[in-house]
Amino acid sequence: MAELFYDADADLSIIQGRKVAVIGYGSQGHAHALSLRDSGVDVRVGLHEGSKSKAKAEEQGLRVVSPSEAAAEADVIMILVPDPIQGEVYEKHIKDNLKDGDALFFGHGLNIRYGFVKPPAGVDVCMVAPKGPGHLVRRQYEEGRGVPCIAAVEQDATGNAFALALSYAKGIGGTRAGVIKTTFTEETETDLFGEQAVLCGGTAALVKAGFETLTEAGYQPEIAYFECLHELKLIVDLMYEGGLEKMRWSISETAEWGDYVSGPRIITDATKAEMKKILGEIQDGTFAKNWMDEYHGGLKRYNEYKKQDSEHLLETTGKELRKLMSWVDEEA
Ligand code: NDP
Ligand code: MG
Ligand code: MG
């Protein structure tokens, strides 16, 4: 069983006694910086020249300095810029500002797991990763609740790295919900696998294939959209609330029978064999290397895939249909 930690297991005074730099003010950055501040922690935000979120951070009462200044002032540095640029931000702004006993924090393990960031031996290396988007993390904190987090220590230079990570997690409300102990390796590999095989990659491909099967057979795209994309939310909400069992309790017996007999014909042994290959490429670093090459090579294939899908009948149909749904907010 996983090791779980709650408020009583975490000592907030540890992080309150440190100087924290949050580098980046996006989805996670704003939530961490604001909630740590509200937990009585000394926080500054490090943002690059021309940052789009600088004005917002200042409006919200935070002190914004350059990433280098933030790293120099602080002894706990949380890196919350996009994963593909963390290596560069580390080299340019953080590396030379690290002293023995400082702590380097991450919200995702990719750059440590694949060696794009190599911290010196005297520094604690920790992860606190909320299992939810930043806006939910902040909202839950403000409501006196929290989003569960996972926490890990890659390098325990001071001997107190995990206590520090738990203290940080408490400062953003994580221990109110529960913090699960993991490792950088486990978090990174399972996160990449989940988003590729199931959550994003697997689901998008499943929805598209189902939609294409119906429209190629002559059914109206609008009807196919409802059956293959729109209704997915109802099903996922049920699974989220009560697992497969609650989903099957709610759907008709006909749908449940079809689930049992047809599902395994869609996700076959061949699909699972491919999942194992994908996991292998995550574990041996092939995926991370290819992604960094793509990112730093100007995102050519990435933009091509994006364009292709934005022109797909599924997407153009959905755009029109969602105008009929007053309750759906396109602006997230
Ligand atoms: P976002 O893309 O939302 O935010 C990026 C922030 O970094 C912005 O404030 C952006 O500036 C800033 N930035 C961009 N370039 C630089 C630079 N060169 N120097 C300093 N700041 C820069 O990131 P996320 O919050 O999504 O992700 C941050 C980390 O959190 C990642 O490691 C991610 O894997 C992890 N994570 C994310 C989750 C999520 O829900 N999004 C969930 C759990 C973990 P600007 O002000 O110009 O926009
Ligand atoms: Mg991810
Ligand atoms: Mg139906």
Distance 131 CA to ligand 1 centre (A): 15
Question: C-alpha 18: how far from its chain's center?
Answer: 26
CA atoms within 13 A on the CB side of 92: 12
Q: Please say if the pLDDT value at position 144 is more than 70.
A: yes
Q: What is the DSSP letter of 183?
A: -
Asked if 126 and 78 count as a contact pair (C-beta separation under 8 A), the reply is: no
Instruction: Determine the pLDDT at residue 1.
Output: 85
Active site residue 48: no
Closest CA to 66 of 86, 50, 82: 50
From the list 48, 108, 296, 312, the catalytic residue is 108
Measured in Å, residue 229 CA sits from the centre of ligand 3 at 11
Question: How many angstroms separate the alpha carbon of residue 196 from the centre of ligand 3?
Answer: 26
Q: Is 77 in the pocket of ligand 1 (CB under 6 A)?
A: no
Q: What is the pLDDT of residues 83-141, one digit of tens each?
A: 999 999 999 999 999 999 999 999 999 999 999 999 999 999 999 999 999 999 999 99
Cβ atoms of 11 and 163 within 8 Å: the answer is yes
Q: Which amino acid makes up residue 261?
A: V
Q: Is 227 annotated as a binding residue?
A: yes
Taking a C-beta distance cutoff of 8 angstroms, is the pair 24, 81 a contact? yes
How many whole angstroms from its chain centre is CA 182?
A: 15
Q: How far is the CA of 135 from the centre of ligand 2 (A)?
A: 16
Tell me how crowded residue 71 is: count the other CB atoms within 10 A of its CB: 26
28 lines ligand 1 (CB under 6 A): yes
Ligand nearest to the CA of 252: 3
Q: What is the mean pLDDT of the chain?
A: 97
Residue-wise pLDDT for 242-270, tens only, equals 999 999 999 999 999 999 999 999 999 99
Q: Is 191 annotated as a binding residue?
A: yes
Is residue 134 within 6 Å of ligand 1 at its C-beta? yes
**Distance from first CA to last CA of the chain, Å, rounded?**
36
46 is in an annotated binding site: no
The closest alpha carbon to 71, from 92, 87, 91, 93, belongs to 93
Domains of the chain: 4-182 (3.40.50.720), 192-324 (1.10.1040.10)
Between these two residues, 74 and 328, which has the higher pLDDT value? 74
SS3 content of the chain, % helix, strand, coil (to 5): 60, 10, 30
What pLDDT is recorded for position 208?
98
Backbone CA torsion sign across 202, 298, 300, 290: negative
Q: Is the CB of 173 under 6 A from ligand 1?
A: no
Ligand 1 nearest-atom number relative to CA 28 = 25
On whether the CB atoms of residues 134 and 102 are closer than 8 A, the answer is no
Distance CA 192, CA 281 (A): 10
pLDDT at residue 332, as a whole number: 54
Residue nearest to atom 29 of ligand 1 (CA): 80
- CA–CA dist 20, 37 (Å, integer): 10
Using the predicted structure, report yes or no on whether residue 329 has a pLDDT greater than 90: no
pLDDT at 331 over 70: no
Reading the block at residue 241, the tokens are: 């609330």
Q: Which two tokens stand for residue 122?
A: 């005297």
Indicate which residue's Cα is closest to atom 12 of ligand 1. Answer: 24
Q: Model-level pTM?
A: 0.94
Residue 129 in contact with ligand 1 by CB distance below 6 A: yes
Tally the C-alpha atoms within 13 A of residue 127's C-alpha that lie toward its C-beta.
25
